[in-house]
């Protein structure tokens, strides 16, 4: 069964699969009110959570399609453990990224060393082939090429005595850490069910004549197969689509 979190009269659906099921199987649309992870500073396109009208939430609860639960209130006693858990996860992510970066750089270093070795072998073979015609000139070219390749090799394999390095690979600085942004949050294992028949802080609509009238109209149109959405922008209660 789908779960709808209710807080201060606002009914929210957090799961993408749940939103898809509501729209495709039950004909309940709601409206998205959350910022997109990759576009937080705009409001032309919004994402999860999905905000349901009180009439939509009540209808879904009445037909048994969803369970209404009270959204958990922040507990100051849990702030310190949550912060410690976040720091542990961040440190673990940094260690994993450091290991992957070191592995990638070591692979690149080995590739450079292989290219240098191939170049040295090619030069040596060329010198050996031309040693019969110009021995002294070939020897001078050999010394010059050895000096060049040794310099390239030193560049490809930096000294392991460099501070903070391990096996010649400089560690990843913390400033290069990629921070993971969570796009979902875990729901508490035990959520308190909400009774929509009883007026409460989270569900203030129960027993109100205006809500009862709106709900009776909404349910009647929904049972006839119409798709409804909020019409606050147009000064009405519902937009009705065939």
Q: Does a structural domain hold residue 182?
A: no
Packed helices 79-129 and 135-156: angle between N→C axes, nearest 10 degrees = 180
Q: pLDDT tens, 200-219?
A: 999 999 999 999 999 999 99
Confidence class of residue 2 from pLDDT cuts 50, 70 and 90? very high
Question: Domain with 235 in it: what CATH number?
Answer: 3.40.1170.20
Q: Are residues 169 and 84 in the same domain?
A: yes
State both tokens at 75: 């507990």
DSSP lists the bridge partners of residue 238 as: 230
Q: 59-68, 141-150, 160-169, 232-241 — which one is most confidently predicted on average? A: 59-68
Confidence class of residue 160 from pLDDT cuts 50, 70 and 90? very low
Cα–Cα dist 223/59, whole Å: 10
Q: pLDDT tens, 40-78?
A: 888 889 999 999 999 999 999 999 999 999 987 777 777
Confidence class of residue 163 from pLDDT cuts 50, 70 and 90? very low
Q: Are residues 169 and 209 in the same domain?
A: no
Confidence class of residue 159 from pLDDT cuts 50, 70 and 90? very low
Q: Does a structural domain hold residue 40?
A: yes
Q: Are residues 34 and 106 in the same domain?
A: no
Cα–Cα dist 221/228, whole Å: 8
Q: Please tell me the predicted confidence (pLDDT) of residue 144.
A: 54
Q: Which residues constitute the domain of residue 45? A: 2-72+188-241
Cα–Cα dist 194/67, whole Å: 8
Q: Does a structural domain hold residue 124?
A: yes
The mean per-residue pLDDT over the stretch 5-10 comes to 95
Q: Are 231 and 214 in contact (CB under 8 A)?
A: no
Q: Are residues 14 and 46 in the same domain?
A: yes
Interacting residues of 217 by C-beta distance below 8 A, sequence separation 6+: 237, 238
Least confident residue range of 15-19, 39-43, 222-226: 39-43
Number of domains in the chain: 2
Q: Does a structural domain hold residue 43?
A: yes
Q: Does a structural domain hold residue 56?
A: yes
Q: Are residues 106 and 131 in the same domain?
A: yes
Q: Are residues 108 and 159 in the same domain?
A: yes
Q: pLDDT tens, 118-140?
A: 888 888 888 888 775 555 555 55
Q: Are residues 64 and 85 in the same domain?
A: no
Q: Are residues 66 and 90 in the same domain?
A: no
């Amino acid at each position: 069964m789908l779960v709808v979190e209710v807080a201060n009269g606002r009914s929210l659906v957090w799961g993408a699969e749940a939103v898809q099921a509501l729209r495709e199987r039950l004909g309940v649309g709601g409206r998205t009110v959350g910022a997109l992870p990759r576009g937080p500073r705009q409001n032309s396109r919004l994402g999860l959570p999905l905000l349901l009208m009180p009439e939509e939430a009540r209808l879904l609860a009445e037909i048994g399609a969803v369970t209404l639960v009270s959204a958990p209130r922040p507990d100051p006693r849990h702030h310190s453990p949550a912060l410690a858990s976040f720091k542990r996860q961040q440190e673990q992510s940094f260690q994993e990224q450091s290991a992957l970066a070191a592995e990638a750089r070591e692979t690149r270093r080995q590739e450079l060393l292989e290219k240098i070795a191939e170049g040295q072998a090619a030069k040596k073979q060329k010198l050996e082939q031309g040693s019969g015609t110009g021995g002294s000139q070939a020897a001078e070219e050999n010394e010059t090429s050895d000096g060049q390749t040794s310099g390239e090799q030193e560049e490809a394999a930096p000294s392991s005595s460099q501070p903070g390095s391990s096996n010649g690979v400089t560690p990843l600085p913390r400033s290069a850490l990629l921070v993971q942004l969570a796009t979902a949050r875990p729901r508490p294992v035990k959520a308190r069910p909400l009774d929509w028949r009883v007026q409460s802080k989270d569900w203030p609509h129960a027993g109100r004549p205006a809500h009862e009238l709106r709900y009776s109209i909404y349910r009647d149109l929904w049972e006839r197969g119409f798709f409804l959405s909020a019409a606050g922008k147009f000064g009405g209660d519902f937009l009705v689509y065939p």
